[in-house]
Each structure stands twice: as structure tokens, then as C-alpha cells.
Amino acid sequence: MEIVSENKAHGGRQLVVKHASAATSSDMTFSIFLPPQAEAGEKRPVVWYLSGLTCTHANVTEKGECRAACAEHGLIFVAPDTSPRGDGVPDDPQGAYDFGLGAGFYVDATQEPYARNYRMWTYVTEELPQLVGSEFAADMTRQGITGHSMGGHGALTVALRHPGRFRSVSAFAPIVAPSQVPWGQKALGGYLGEDRAAWRKHDAVALIEDGARVDEILVDVGTSDTFIENELRPELLEQSCAKAGIDLTLRRQPGYDHSYYFISTFMAEHLRWHAERLKRG
């Protein structure tokens, strides 16, 4: 494990860390903010943030405006990369932004040539939590998860498939039903093959239809988000949660788009929401 950079912020430390990943057979980079309480040696709850298409750890670290709220509430904030990278890691043959590098979709690929490296599900649910739990002052009995767009899809599916691990889940403009929209159909087909039954465990709406449950979900989406109708489809999550009895707070924020201007506006509210649930006994 190599600390690439280290900066003091809000009484805590912002780190960027690089390590060799067995899951992805590549070097991986993630950022982690350690609040003042963790710096004092106190075990603190963890909020995971999964980023969207084209992003790395750096987007939310530099533009998400998360550190003040994390310091206030004593939250460790971890942001992994969105895909493996490096020499020999295959990309989309056409260089498209929505598949390959920067677009791992938080699945374990079964299709060649992606199966060796694109194991982001194992990376974010097993390998990285083990590393964070062993190397930092993280209370792994208190975890929350959030994310944006493709990462919102990841946050929802990870939480739905690990209901005992996460005390809280939220999302910014998530892709809620990837099996039903172009971004998801391209990614799930390319990584997992054409058997749509295999897609369902990576589709939040399908998981809920198949019986997966969490107690509650917070989602924000901007009404001026250009992807809302064709790619995000928040109404599908609204319908599935209502039918399943899941307490969904879906806030359609007037005039906001898909960018980090939107995310940073509501980041502190999401972190406060997570902190309230992570404090419970």
C-alpha cells in the first residue's frame, strides 16, 4: 500500500492510496478521508462513495465537498476508482466513455477479454473493505454506502445484496434499472453476456422484484438532468419500493443537472442522513 498524497483538511487527513489488487489484477487507487476523531485513534463509521461513468476517485474527492460534513459527524469517507486501469487492461474497442476504462459498472465480468480485470464487484464488496478495515481506524460494524449515476446503481445493488452490512444507503441520480436502459444494457451485456437472468442481481429494481430488501433509501435527482428519462428512470425505483414496502425518500430537485454542482449541493444532507443512522445502536 502506497500513500500517493496526504493533505490536512478540516482537522483530519485526506489520503490518496494506491495498492496492488488481487481482484482486478491491476494497481488500484482510492481516496480516504480520516476525520479528526479517527486521527485521534477512535474507531469511526465508514461511508463508501461509488462514482459514475468516466470518473476516478478524484472527482468526488476534489469536487464533492464532503470533508466538512465528514469531520462534523466523524465519518470516514472512501471513494474507489470506477474500473481497473493500467497496461494490459482492455478498454472498449471504440473508445466509448460508457464501457471499459472508467465504466466498470461494479460487476464481476464473465466475458472475454474483460473477465480477468473487470472484477469491480469483488473489489468494492470484499477486497477494499478488508484493506480499509485492517489499515485504518474504521468501525466496519457501522457502514453506509452512496454513489452517483453508475455509482448510484452500484450503491443500491451492493446494499440490497448485503442488507446486514450497511445501515444506510443513498444515491445521487442513480441508474436504478440498468436492464431497461441503454447504458446498463450495453454494460451488462458486454461484461456478463446476453443471459438477462444474470443481469438481475446487478439491477436494483429487479433485485427488489426478486425479494431483496433494505429498510429505507434516500435518492436525489435533478429535474434538469438530461439523463433522467432515458437512463436513470427514478420512477421505476419509486414504483418497486412502493410495492415492496421500502421507505424511499425520492427528492426531485428543481433545476439541478447531473454534475458535481448538483452532488456537492446535497452532499452534506446525505452525509448527515447517513450519520444519523450510523449512530444507532
Residues with a catalytic annotation lie at 149, 225, 258
Question: Using an 8 Å Cβ cutoff, are 244 and 253 in contact?
Answer: no
Pairwise CA distance, residues 112 & 210, whole Å: 28
Longest pairwise C-alpha distance within the chain: 50
| Residue 220: exposure state from Cβ atoms within 10 A (0-12, 13-18, ≥19) | buried
Pairwise CA distance, residues 190 & 211, whole Å: 26
Pairwise CA distance, residues 281 & 278, whole Å: 8
Instruction: Tell me the residue length of the chain.
Output: 281
Please report the DSSP string for 71-95 in residue order: HHHT-EEEEE-SS--STT----TT-
DSSP 183: H
Peptide bond into 80 cis (omega under 30): no
> Can you read off the three cell numbers belonging to residue 214?
433494505
